[in-house]
Each structure stands twice: as structure tokens, then as C-alpha cells.
Amino acid sequence: MRVAELWRYPVKSLQGERLTEAEVGPLGLEGDRRWALFDRETGFGLTARRVPELLFGAARLRPDGAVEVVLPDGTVTADEAALSRWLGRRVELRAAPEDDADVPVYESAVDDDEPDPAEWLQWEGAPGPFHDSPRIRLSLVSTGTLGTWDRRRFRANVVLDGAGEDALRGTEAGLGGARLRFGTGIPRCVMTTRPQPGGIARDTSVLKTVHREREGLLAVRAAVVTPGRVRVGDELRRTAD
């Protein structure tokens, strides 16, 4: 399998940016999930599970490493007042801690096919970058697994051309200049069913199919053993068993 696409999501739950190459460090792809929006009143982090409007904004890194958000109307901003007006609540754009210490708490819709917007729960994310789990530093999925599903529903960092990422669990492999250790599959939630820009419609059958045919898991998580640069076209070089 080779790298077909590389994706970075600078702000949790917002749309990301497609790259041709990227540095992969101990905490994952450089700039990935390094910011999140937090509700100033509750202190909770926001995700598209609870606030689906987030999926209609996009985030990108500037050349100086700062982040900026592209709102649905095309406005480019990092101003918290503008972001608050967009979401209808007072929000803070918060960077992940450098020391990997603080664990953020998020508010989330109850995770079923038809979540009641009046119901919500709290869950803890990962320390450091705003991944759902501290065991996820990089996420990979193959075109063979995706089939006809739009890859943007699953927000993987690496889309591999071919099939077979499930067999990587528990192994190590080289990818470009990096070396990765693969863990278990990634549990999927109601976010995969949400409508998104670019003609992605609401589709509850996505999550039902993932649960029925894949035990709720799609894509694999990876830890970074050796940092390095990864480019589109790089081959996944699996360690011999």
C-alpha cells in the first residue's frame, strides 16, 4: 500500500487541509489536532458530536505556524469574537498543552443513531493534542476499506491506496522517513453520519454498517516510533513477521 492522501486537522472537529507531505513527530502529524474550541461558560471542549456546525468550518496553518479558521461564509479569522458569533456561544480557541499533562473534558451528544440534542454527556480526551484517545497519534485507512464512502467522513490522517490496514494491528512498519507501531481499530461514532460541505449528505447507514460489519471499528491507530517526513506516494514497508 502507498500513501494516496495526507490530511491535517489543525482544529478538532473542523474540516482540515490536504497536504502533499508532512512531518510526523512523537505526537503525530505536525499541527494535527493542536487546537480545539472550548465553551467559555462550561469550560468543555466542543466536538461535532454535540455541535455539528463545526463540520462546516475549516482550519489551516499559516506559514508562521499559527492557525486560522475559514467560516462557512468564507471569512478567514482566528478572532474569538467572530468564532463565537458563528457558533452562537462564547468560545475560546485553545492550543494543546506542550507538556502533555492536561486532559480536556468535552461535551458530547449521546452516541446513538438519532441523538437527542437535549441530552449530552461528558468524556475525557487525550492529553496533549486533542485526539479522542492518547493511543491515537496517527490514523490510517485504506481505499479498500472505504469502498464508496467519502473518506472525509472518517477524518484519517493517511489514506492508503489498496487494502489491508486491519492486518497491521500489533505490527510495526515504515512509512516514508517515519516508523509506526500499529494498535487496535478506531471506534466510530455519530460524527460519521453528519452532513458536511462538498455534497456529503446525512447518512445514518454508515454507522449502522460499521457496527454490523466491522464491530464498530474503522481505520487503525498508530504510535510514532521514529519521527520522519511522509509524502504522498510513499510505500508502507511492513516489518517481516
First to last CA, the chain: 17
C-alpha cell at 33: 489536532
pLDDT digits (tens, 9 = 90+) for 34-64: 999 999 988 888 888 888 999 999 999 999 9
How far, in Å, CA of 223 to CA of 225, rounded? Answer: 6
Domain 2-238 sits in CATH 2.40.33.20: yes
Domain ranges of the chain: 2-238
Q: Taking the model in full, what pTM does it have?
A: 0.86
How far, in Å, CA of 231 to CA of 168, rounded? Answer: 20
pLDDT digits (tens, 9 = 90+) for 122-142: 444 455 566 666 667 899 999
User: Mind listing the pLDDT tens digit of every residue in the chain (241 residues)?
Assistant: 999 999 999 999 999 999 999 999 988 999 999 999 999 988 888 888 888 999 999 999 999 999 999 999 999 999 999 999 999 999 999 998 765 556 565 555 555 444 444 444 444 445 556 666 666 789 999 999 999 999 999 999 999 999 999 999 999 999 999 999 999 999 998 889 999 999 999 999 999 999 999 999 999 999 999 999 999 999 999 875 4
Residue 39, helix vs strand vs coil: strand
Count of H helices and E strands in the chain?
3, 18
- Smallest CA-to-CA distance from 54 within 115, 7, 108, 97 is with 108
How far, in Å, CA of 199 to CA of 137, rounded? Answer: 29
